Structure 1
């Protein structure tokens, strides 16, 4: 399983999540504490938003702990919205095109989880893409393909409804072709304005997700960045999270629903 961290709020240096905290994302790349394996050394990536609509991005196949460029960039880049990811591959080779975050236009996406039996589902999933989205596929992961499918189902217009429809489609396909469904999905995605996240699994064992205020904003992380347990609220399994102008909202996430109504949740330091 992978580890990731994301932030939205007043501009913040990336190092506040990526390298500075005691249990930063780089620390989690070789010493994760709330994952099946402690090492996430199959590459890393960051995507950040600035003055242009589309995100900047830096990815590599090196382990995050061994790339001095990552620490340097994280110290210098200041952004109001960014995503960062360290990879433990469950499918797809260790290559740059398979490293998260993935981007398309102004959208960015990263994921922690898996689809059981993906190799048998891959071709019919790809067949749902139009030519533009199919040609945008650079890697071989289930994560990138689910992102492109969500775009196919209307991510740019109705983000949560598109994700729900994408997961409903994948579950239906797995049931038809495999006779069973096992999908674990904890993802973050953004259009450069709002930050969205979903924590969901068919077996109720979704990869972990936590939220906390940070500066004048909020961060979402796979694991708390420090030992202050009172500062971190665990996001329940089966949740859709939106971080926008009005702060953090959380709502139930069910793939059978077209969309979920958000309900404000207060998270205090």
Structure 2
């Protein structure tokens, strides 16, 4: 599988979260604790929003993140209020740059940890469901990118929870039609540059790990000696595949079969349920 993080809050250097924490994403690329694989060296990527541009920037590489000098150099100079970072462990598709996360379409970013079981068997049936106007924009061969374009087909830009529910419902239906009873395993993050949506779901209801950070105001009271907590804005939030350190009370598990909305003001967590094709709005 993979490891990923998303950050939203006060503008910071990317390396603040990618390299500096005790159990940073770079450390997780070599020594993941909670993933299926210990090593995640089949490529990496970062996507970030900055300045007046609505379209996020993207930097991806097909080697391991821990040895990429360009990633270290860029992350020490790029400042962003909202960014994605991902280290990949392939579940069977090729190790190539176009298969590295995050994926981008317009002002949207998307990344995934998990798998569509028996993807090679289901791929054609799923691909024909992508809107013709979007199909030519698919660059790679992963289940993750195809999930993104199915969600775009189902209206991700207008209603992300409904679009992802319809995407998962379609994958599960096609999976059952092909003799794959539990096809979906996913934690997903997606953003339009202002808000961010996170999803944790699997067909077996035994999903990969996902955590969100405790409110900064609470962390300031718990750890007044930690200087980054004093500087962070009240809106600062992290979502990670596994915690970046061992501070007690700093991390909370995202509930099974749920989605969250991280946005200016109050964040939200709601139950997530797939929507089978033809079942109406969720």
TM-score range, shorter chain: over 0.9
- Report the RMSD for the aligned CA atoms in angstroms: 1.2
Q: Is the 8 A contact 1:18 1:26 kept in 2?
A: yes
Deviations 1:9-64 (A, max 9, x none): 12121112111111110110001011122100000000000120100000001100
Q: Residue in 1 aligned with 2:126? A: 125
Deviation for aligned residue 1:71: 1.3
Deviation string 1:216-253 (CA, Å, 9 cap, x unpaired) is 21000001111113110011111101100114211111
How far off is 1:132 after superposition? 2.7
Question: CA separation of 1:179/1:42 partners in 2, compared to 1, >3 Å: closer, same or farther?
Answer: closer
Taking structure 1 as the reference length, what is the TM-score of the superposition? 0.93
1:158 is aligned to 2:159: yes
Deviation at 1:7, TM superposition (A): 0.8
| Partner residue, 2:229 | none
Tell me the residue number matched to 1:75: 76
For structure 1, the residue ranges without an aligned partner over 5 or more in a row are 260-269
Q: Distance in 1 between matches of 2:116 and 2:147?
A: 10
Aligned residues: 259
Give the conservation status (yes or no) of the 8 Å contact 1:209–1:222. Answer: yes
Moved more, 218-227 or 247-256: 247-256
Which residue is equivalent to 2:255?
236
- Per-residue CA shift, 1:57-109, capped at 9, x if unaligned? 00001100000111111111111111000000002110000000000000000
Rounded to whole Å, the distance in 2 between the matches of 1:53 and 1:247 is: 23
Q: Is the 1:218–1:248 contact (alpha carbons within 8 Å) kept by the matching residues of 2?
A: no
Q: What is the deviation of 1:179?
A: 5.0
TM-score by length of 2: 0.89
